[in-house]
Amino acid sequence: MTFSAFLRSRPRWQLALGGIALLWLLWTVVRPSKAASDNLTVVAKRGPLDIKVLVGGSIEALQSQEIRSEVRGEPVKILKIVDEGYLVTEDDVKTNKVLIELDSSKLKQNLVNQDITFQSTASGLTEAQQAYEIQVNQNKTDIKAAEQKARFGLMDLEKYLGSQITGEIVGKLGLREDLLTNSTAAVATNAFVVDFTRYARAELLADGAAKQELRKRDDELLVARTAAGQATNKLTGTKRLFEKGFVTKSELENDQIASEQASLKVDAAATARDLFVRYEFPKMAEETLGKFDEALQGLIRSRKESVSKLAQAEAKLNGAQGRYQIEKENRDELAAQITKCLLHAKTPGLVVYGGGNQRSYWNNNERIAVGSQVFERQALITIPDPKKMGVNVGVHESHIKKVKKGLKVRITADAFPDDPLTGDVTKVGVLPDSENRWMNPDMKLYTTTVAIEGTREWLKPGMSAKIEIMVKRLDDVVHVPLQAVSQRDGKTVVFQPGGKPKQVEVEAGEFTDEFIEIKRGVKAGDTVLLRAPDSEHPGDDGKKPAASAAAPAGAPAKPPASK
């Protein structure tokens, strides 16, 4: 990095303070005469030169426990809080010492109200569970009764028509017998009309009740015809006897009447059989089949209704369970919120109010104290870990390429300058710190974390410290004080003493806040002026200088705006 870049890396207030201090030193040391000031010299030396980055910062804990308010909703009041600076011990952690007590009175009242609502919801859940179980049992009963009715209807149909004809008719009509066992089957009905008269034969009816009825009609007709034949035969014989005079006319008339009555009985029996075949049998068969079909339809309807009713009962049960779960979670949350009003010690350390990384000029929260209102997630107490202390510093962009993870660091606390600390760079920011850019947009600082090695009893967060990041050591180089180097017409130069100071162009190398490496132009033992002589200072003639002094060639003269 060039010397001019170094100038840009220093904030204006640091440059101003350094310039004032240097001017005061020169004025007090060489004030006897202006000439003496111009002739103040130094000797270029050869030896080791430590290249380091100097920054300031505050010591803080790299790890800490933040105790935040976890009470949701409206802000709550602090009832009790331990004093800031209280040292939490291991015994405090073991005994679960209360560090902060928040007001839980409103939460407790809300919990009472929530308990009332919860009990009502729990009662509704029990009722929904009982209704669901009742519906399950009712569905079983209804389906069982419907299945029984359908099964009895089929049995009546088989009883009347016989199993053979019943199977044929059920098959043609699509009245499947497996509906008696399938829970979700449907009847495939059609417009098929059964002609039962064609089944009115004994050989087709098999052993059904209709066959017995038909056989009875056939037997009655057969008996009537037999009796009619006998009466006819008797009448024929009586007529022959009457012609020969063996019987009276009265006996003939009686046999004629008996014959006619027998014929009427035949007609009556034939008519009765015909009526049975044409009307009674089809009617009875269709009525029995209709009852069976109705029973099947009732079974299907019962199964569908059971599904619908069970779904309704299940929906009510699920709704009741959901409400119960929500109310239970609300109650449990309120109970948990009450317990969160007591904040306990979890790690030993020193109590600090607020968050460890809070900015005082950004923090609009009320000051942490008894009676203060605190919000959810607001940091109330920070307990830093004294075993892991460090410094977060902002490194200017001109130095950031030098700083790498693992570099050794020397830390000097302002309060204990005689007890220096050591550490390492553990983290280097990738992007500039946006929190500092609002103060000076041109100032880009990269947050760099330095971990302190070891512990000190006196080490406390917030202590100011000077940080020296050891970049590297130049073992054998020529170097002169930083202020001995100037910039003239784009060239980096020094001045050697004499009657008229001689300007010597040099090549500058690495530099620190105090010394700068001279690679070419000056060798060890050469004497140079500590500062450019007044006669050589640009601007003495009242004209605007061509280039600014004390900056290597090619570097901009104006440093960036400081923080």
Residue 198, phi then psi, degrees to nearest 5: -75, -10
Same domain, 94 and 158: no
Element (H, E) at 454: none
Kind of pairing between the strands at 408-413 and 416-428: antiparallel
Residue 166's pLDDT band, with cuts at 50, 70 and 90, is confident
DSSP calls for 356-420: TT--TTT--SPPSSTT-EE-TT-EEEEEE-TTSEEEEEEEETTTTTT--TT-EEEEEETTEEEEE
User: Within 10 A of 462 (CB to CB), how many other CB atoms are there?
Assistant: 9
Contact predicate 470/456, CB 8 Å: no
On the 0-12 / 13-18 / 19+ scale of CB atoms within 10 A, 445 is: buried
User: Within 10 A of 338 (CB to CB), how many other CB atoms are there?
Assistant: 17
Same domain, 415 and 357: no
Element (H, E) at 200: none
State residue 456's pLDDT score: 84
- Whether 545 shows a pLDDT value over 70: the answer reads no
Domain count, the chain: 3
What are the Cα distances from residue 387, in Å, to 58, 64, 380, 423? 16, 10, 22, 13
* Token duo for residue 536: 């050589």
Say which residue the tokens 């030993």 belong to: 348
Residue type, 247: V
Same domain, 96 and 232: no
What are the Cα distances from residue 380, in Å, to 78, 100, 186, 338, 480? 10, 9, 70, 17, 53
State residue 94's pLDDT score: 92
- Whether 559 shows a pLDDT value over 70: the answer reads no
Contact predicate 265/230, CB 8 Å: no
- How far apart CA 228 and CA 252 sit, in angstroms, is 16
Q: For the residues 396-417, what does the mean pLDDT come to?
A: 89
The residues with which 35 forms a beta bridge, in sequence order, are none
Same domain, 366 and 396: no
State residue 168's pLDDT score: 81
- Whether 187 shows a pLDDT value over 50: the answer reads no
Q: For the residues 453-469, what does the mean pLDDT come to?
A: 87
Asked if residue 138 is part of any domain, the answer here is yes
- Of 1-15, 69-83, 143-157, 438-452, the poorest mean pLDDT is in 1-15
State residue 126's pLDDT score: 95
- List the one residue out of 408, 420, 525, 393 whose CA is nearest residue 50: 408
Contact predicate 290/148, CB 8 Å: no
CA 272, 278, 284, 287 dihedral sign is negative
Same domain, 156 and 258: yes
Asked if residue 543 is part of any domain, the answer here is no
- How far apart CA 231 and CA 164 sit, in angstroms, is 41
The CATH number for 485's domain is: 2.40.30.170
Q: For the residues 244-266, what does the mean pLDDT come to?
A: 89
- Of 18-27, 114-123, 242-251, the poorest mean pLDDT is in 18-27
Asked if residue 113 is part of any domain, the answer here is no
- How far apart CA 146 and CA 306 sit, in angstroms, is 12
- Whether 543 shows a pLDDT value over 70: the answer reads no
* Token duo for residue 77: 């009041």
The residues with which 518 forms a beta bridge, in sequence order, are 508
pTM (2 d.p.): 0.53
> In the chain, pLDDT over 70 holds for what percent of residues?
81
Same domain, 330 and 345: no
Range of the domain at 190: 122-334
Q: For the residues 473-486, what does the mean pLDDT come to?
A: 90
* Token duo for residue 262: 């027998």
Same domain, 315 and 173: yes
Contact predicate 28/40, CB 8 Å: no
State residue 186's pLDDT score: 40
* Token duo for residue 200: 């009115």
The residues with which 511 forms a beta bridge, in sequence order, are 516
Say which residue the tokens 């050989």 belong to: 203
- List the one residue out of 60, 62, 67, 61 whose CA is nearest residue 97: 67
- How far apart CA 423 and CA 428 sit, in angstroms, is 14
- Structural domain ending residue among the three candidates 324, 355, 374: 374
- Whether 193 shows a pLDDT value over 60: the answer reads yes
* Token duo for residue 534: 């007044």
State residue 439's pLDDT score: 61
Say which residue the tokens 């006819």 belong to: 232
- Whether 93 shows a pLDDT value over 50: the answer reads yes
Same domain, 162 and 303: yes
Same domain, 265 and 321: yes
- SS3 for 457-505, per residue? CCCCCCCEEEEEEEEEEEEEEEEEEHHHCEEECCEEEEEECCCCCEEEE
* Token duo for residue 186: 């449907």
Contact predicate 270/240, CB 8 Å: no
State residue 184's pLDDT score: 41
State residue 535's pLDDT score: 55
State residue 154's pLDDT score: 87
Same domain, 146 and 237: yes
User: Within 10 A of 422 (CB to CB), how many other CB atoms are there?
Assistant: 13
Asked if residue 442 is part of any domain, the answer here is yes
* Token duo for residue 205: 């009816």
Same domain, 51 and 192: no
- How far apart CA 461 and CA 358 sit, in angstroms, is 13
The residues with which 64 forms a beta bridge, in sequence order, are 384
Say what the alpha-carbon torsion angle 117, 120, 122, 124 is, to the nearest 10 degrees.
Answer: -130
Asked if residue 548 is part of any domain, the answer here is no
Same domain, 144 and 177: yes
State residue 142's pLDDT score: 93
Asked if residue 532 is part of any domain, the answer here is yes
- How far apart CA 72 and CA 417 sit, in angstroms, is 47
Asked if residue 563 is part of any domain, the answer here is no
- How far apart CA 55 and CA 206 sit, in angstroms, is 116
DSSP calls for 51-87: EEEEEEEEEEESSEEEEE----SS-EEEEEEPPTT-E
pLDDT digits (tens, 9 = 90+) for 288-325: 888 888 888 899 899 999 999 999 999 999 999 999 99
- List the one residue out of 428, 434, 473, 431 whose CA is nearest residue 451: 428
Asked if residue 549 is part of any domain, the answer here is no
On the 0-12 / 13-18 / 19+ scale of CB atoms within 10 A, 441 is: exposed
